Homo-oligomer: A and B are copies of this chain.
Amino acid sequence: MKYRVDVHIDGDVRTVIADNGANLLDILKGMGISLYTPCGGRGTCGKCVVRAEGGMAEPSENERRLLGERLKKGFRLACSYRIGSDACIYIDRPGEQAVIMTAGTRRQVALDPLVRKRYIELPLPSLEDQRPDMERVLALSGLPAMNAGTSITNLPGIETELELLKGLPALLRSSGYRVTTVETGGKLLSVEAGDTTALLCGTAFDIGTTTVAAYLHDLNSGKLLSVASMMNPQRKFGSDVISRIDHAKTSRQAAYELKSLITDCVNELAGQLADDAGINKKDIYAAVFSGNTTMLHLLAGLDASGIAVSPFIPATCRTIRLGAKELGIDINNSGQAILLPCVSAYIGADTVSAVLASGIYEKDGFSLLVDIGTNGEIVLGGKDGLIACSAAAGPAFEGANIRFGMGGIAGAVDSFAMHGFRYTVIGNMAARGICGSGIVDAAAALLDAGVIDETGTVADDGETAGLPQEIRERFTVTDGMRSFILVPAEETDIGEPITITQKDIREIQNAKAAIAAGIETLMSEAGISYHDIKKVYLAGGFGSSIHVRSAARIGLLPQQLTDRVEAVGNASGSGASECLLSKEMLRIAEEIAGKVRYIELSASAVFSEKYIENMIFTQNQGEVLQMEKRVFPVAERIVNG
């Protein structure tokens, strides 16, 4: 039995013939339409909502639980919906790219780009000057002198090198021996006919688990020409790195699919960057990639399975340099790709890059760098040494596992205050859900108002008596759980109120406890107290959008440090740009990756203890850390590390 399915999306209708019983999410995937499925299509996150018309299959248990009243309006979960008749499916994807954090702290770095060009006019060959074509070029290229006897092809990206040699004789003759050399790090990448020195661009990418940001620079001036971003298309296989790795493990085909998704995404972004800047993609000669260890493994096609299971072993943490072509990246044929170095399975190049861009590696005393995502990466230290850990916060702050949670995209409540129940929505529209910064604000407001107590328990009817009437009226029940209405149904876009449930509060407690305990574990390792920390850098989109007071109120960040917090935006992207624009910065990034000492929290008794301590919503006054202050014996640790 076959049915006709009309899919309405982006103002378009596309028709497909489907088998009876076919899964709608699979059908859409087959049409190249990917929905956001943080749970990987297991029917638990409730994010893959579509609206269906036509003879409907009976709703599943998951749909009843997660959609409630919305079922009546025809809303269904694509992952749970099976075709049982002809149907019309309406997919409403809001403008997802609206608020991906691409801006980041920008330092001045001395321009010494990864790739350089030089125009040269070669002497013509003659019986008196029979140098081989390659020698003729090398002699005037300004490259470090090479002895005639040394091999020509022990360069990174040999493929490119051999291609260069193959094309060189014809190129020299057709160009009248007037050519432009392209070199990286003293190695010849390619030779182009005529003077092309003006055309020299490079890209930096920050590949996050959720979002991908991309930057195009003119390498002659260092100028930022354009910025672009996209959701990471791999997210249809789950919102966290473990889901991705698990999927990659299922088959060679699946691993290839993950690699293709991110490669295609990078290529699309490169195309957008070029279009926006009015250049040709082929004028891009370098792509520097930052990202967490898993994302870079998947990009390189490396086996990431060791990252997913204890003891958490990546294939490599070193810089990977290769021809962009080998990576499937469609820029100049001789273009170089550099995947920045990582520290460990859960301290990736994104953290190394943020350490670089924040400059903490060259600062006296102790700075704290925190990047809160599914994992909270935390770095403590300065020019005398750096230690780092990764706290498994879970995806609560990214909106997953939160009843009405969503990413920081259009329709998300991104701030909330109890006074007047004021809130703001990204994109100035009716609310569809709530994102990380809104969740933190809400939790802080509920705490302040006494809607939840220090243990995180939502006040029961007996306890709400002392609360103002307008607050009391907002208590309700969602999915059978006591909850609090943040946005009433009539103000939302989803036909029901946006609430925060008891379960949501528990998720927030787990998440904030992990981050706070991670910070304290590093401080304990370093033997310092809060007043030793000169500055706190918050990296990433979430770090830039949260309200520091709210974060401190719920104990996500230490209360004692609120006067020293600075948001550095997408520092991972900024660091990648720095490495593109300055070989010295790339060298420093490698130095940072080599010297950061990684503290494994899953093996840390200190962390376990502090995690439990931080489950409650005290306003931490630093009293749990009154231990003896020691000098931070960094050098010694690094030698041992």
Report which A residues bind B (CB closer than 8 A). Answer: 125-135, 147-159, 162, 165-170, 173, 300-303, 305-306, 310-323, 326, 338, 341, 344-345, 589-595, 598, 600, 602-603
Contacts and interface: CB of A to CB of B under 8 A. Distances in A.
- Report the 3 A-B pairs with minimum CB-CB distance, sorted nearest first: A149-B594, A149-B590, A151-B319
A538 to B, nearest CB: 26
A240 to B, nearest CB: 20
Most buried by B among A128, A315, A602: A315
Contacts of A338: 151
Most buried by B among A148, A301, A322, A598: A148
B591 A320 contact: no
Given A150-B319, A153-B321, 10 more contacts: A127-B600, A127-B603, A132-B313, A132-B344, A149-B341, A151-B319, A151-B338, A153-B156, A154-B155, A165-B316
A455 to B, nearest CB: 31
Contact of A303 (B147, B167, B305, B317): B167
28 contacts: A125-B306, A125-B311, A128-B603, A129-B311, A130-B311, A130-B313, A131-B313, A132-B313, A132-B314, A132-B315, A132-B316, A133-B306, A148-B593, A149-B318, A151-B318, A151-B338, A152-B318, A153-B319, A153-B320, A155-B156, A158-B323, A159-B159, A165-B320, A168-B303, A169-B303, A169-B313, A169-B315, A170-B305
Please give the count of copies of this chain that the complex contains: 2
Contacts of A315: 132-134, 165-166, 168-169
Contact of A152 (B125, B152, B319): B319
A590 B173 CA distance: 28
A306 B177 CA distance: 14
A345 B130 CA distance: 9
Contacts of A305: 169-170
A510 to B, nearest CB: 21
A315 to B, nearest CB: 5
Contact of A158 (B134, B156, B301, B303): B156
B158 A157 contact: yes
Contacts of A132: 313-318, 344
A44 to B, nearest CB: 29
A166 B303 contact: yes
A151 to B, nearest CB: 4
Contacts of A129: 311
A575 to B, nearest CB: 14
A450 to B, nearest CB: 42
A592 B147 CA distance: 12
A161 to B, nearest CB: 8
B151 A321 contact: yes
B150 A318 contact: yes
Contacts of A319: 149-153
Contacts of A323: 158
Contacts of A167: 303
Nearest to A318: B152
Contacts of A598: 130
Contacts of A157: 158
Contact of A316 (B133, B321, B322, B344): B133
A354 B314 CA distance: 48
Given A166-B302, A300-B165, A312-B130, A590 B317 contact: no
A37 B168 CA distance: 31
Nearest to A345: B130
Contacts of A133: 306, 313-316
Contacts of A127: 310-312, 600, 602-603
Contacts of A125: 306, 311, 313
A99 to B, nearest CB: 34
A593 B146 CA distance: 13
A152 B600 CA distance: 24
B600 A320 contact: no
A147 B591 CA distance: 9
Most buried by B among A134, A169, A602: A169
A156 B154 contact: yes
A407 B133 CA distance: 34
A292 B25 CA distance: 62
B148 A318 contact: yes
Contact of A317 (B148, B300, B344): B148
A155 B320 CA distance: 11
A132 B133 CA distance: 43
Given A157-B158, A311-B127, A316 B148 contact: no
A156 B152 CA distance: 10
